[in-house]
Amino acid sequence: MTAVSVGLIGCGGMGRALADSLSKMGEARLVAVADPVEQARQQAAEAYGAQAYPACADLLAQPELDAVIVATPNYLHKEVTLAAAAAGKHVFCEKPMALSVADCDAMIQATESAGVKLMVGHVLRLMFPFWRIAELAREGELGAPVCVHIRRLQRPLTTGWRRRRELSGGPLFEVNVHELDLMRHLCGEVEQVSAYGGRFIAQEVDYHDIYLVNLRFRSGAVGHLHAGCVGPSEYHGLLICPRGTLWFGPGWGTGTVQRKGGEPEPLRAEGRDGPVGLDWELSSFVSWVLRDEPPVVTARDARAAIELAEATCRSIEEGRPISLPL
């Protein structure tokens, strides 16, 4: 195999963004798209020169396909991934991997049993300044992280399936699973989650609109995530290390480092000339399929983020700390 033939399942905004990144790669070809909405699939088919199918089963039946991108609504990720594995297709699944640890385990088992690869799109850690912050933390110059704090607030997710917890998981799964993944990426495995929250303001949805999440890592580090879908849109974070502090925001694309005894300096994307963001994760997936090069994000990384989201919801609902693993 010299190029991966890929089908896109789900032609909404995220599916199209992933397809745009894939179309830049000489080692991959988008040859088929599937979506139950006729306009969405026809527009995608025309944009990428691909064959359009109304159902993912029709797409998966095509023998020339090597892999699929799963960009459906969250509640369908498990179902579509299992069908793709049964059809012998490698799978790139957009985050969140699924809406429960049990579903994640079923996806991992199905793909491993079928001998196909499963990667999940946790792109935040691959964007600047986040990859640079992780790089500095790993290099050891600043010492192992001892505290991570992130605040990410946004408007309510009030369109279509995103309004219902059973379909989207709510903001913790739909959006803030990114931050949970990033915090674990920076500080290692989590041993306990203690959270508070509830639905206080956003009566048009059926999930919590505020989450205050405390994490205790096995390393001894601690973390805090303030997330939700009420209040002003806001995004910033802080990583404290023994010999310096790193922070990002407000907003996207900026970061700062202050070494112990020094002045704050803007973070720069030094030492990386390869792809970032969506391009990075998809090129990694293609290289994994073609040459068995280890993926930049694994399915077990994605499962761990879902475990943190599930533990957070349990802690809020049961009023107690939750120890990991679940």
Task: Report pLDDT digits (tens) over 177-229.
Answer: 999 999 999 999 999 999 999 999 988 888 999 999 999 999 999 999 999 98
Asked if residue 236 has pLDDT above 90, the reply is yes
194: its two tokens: 């203690």
pLDDT band at 160 (very low <50, low <70, confident <90, very high): confident
Q: Give the model's pLDDT for residue 102.
A: 98
Q: What is the mean pLDDT of the chain?
A: 95
Pairing of strands 147-153, 234-241: antiparallel
Question: Helices 277-291 and 13-22: crossing angle, nearest 10°?
Answer: 60
Per the model's pLDDT, the better-predicted residue between 143 and 160 turns out to be 143
Class of CATH domain 4-122+276-294: alpha beta
pLDDT recorded at residue 265: 95
DSSP classification of residue 125: G
CA distance 166 to 322: 22
φ, ψ dihedrals at 183, nearest 5°: -65, -40
Per-residue pLDDT, 193: 98
Which residue, chain included where needed, has tokens 């006729």?
Answer: 38
DSSP state of 268: -
Query: What letter represents residue 174's amino acid?
Result: E
pTM for the model: 0.96
SS3 132: helix
Sorting pLDDT into bands at 50, 70 and 90, what band is 252?
confident
Residue 110, pLDDT > 90, answer yes
Q: What is the DSSP string of 220-242?
A: S-EEEEEEESSSS-EEEEEEEET
For residue 287, what pLDDT band results from cuts at 50, 70 and 90?
very high
Give 158's pLDDT tier (boundaries 50, 70, 90).
low
Confidence of residue 155 (pLDDT cuts 50, 70, 90): confident
In this structure, CATH architecture of domain 125-273+305-323: 2-Layer Sandwich (3.30)
pLDDT at 258: 96
Q: Where do the structural domains in the chain lie, given as residue ranges?
A: 4-122+276-294, 125-273+305-323
Residue 244: what pLDDT?
Answer: 95
Q: Which amino acid is at 252?
A: W
- Give tens-digit pLDDT for 22-66: 999 999 999 999 999 999 999 999 999 999 999 999 999 999 999
What is the rounded average pLDDT of the residues 257-276? 89
Confidence of residue 233 (pLDDT cuts 50, 70, 90): confident
pLDDT for residue 157: 65
Assess whether pLDDT exceeds 80 at residue 1: no
163 close to 170: Cβ distance less than 8 angstroms:
no
Percent of the chain scored above 70 by pLDDT?
A: 99
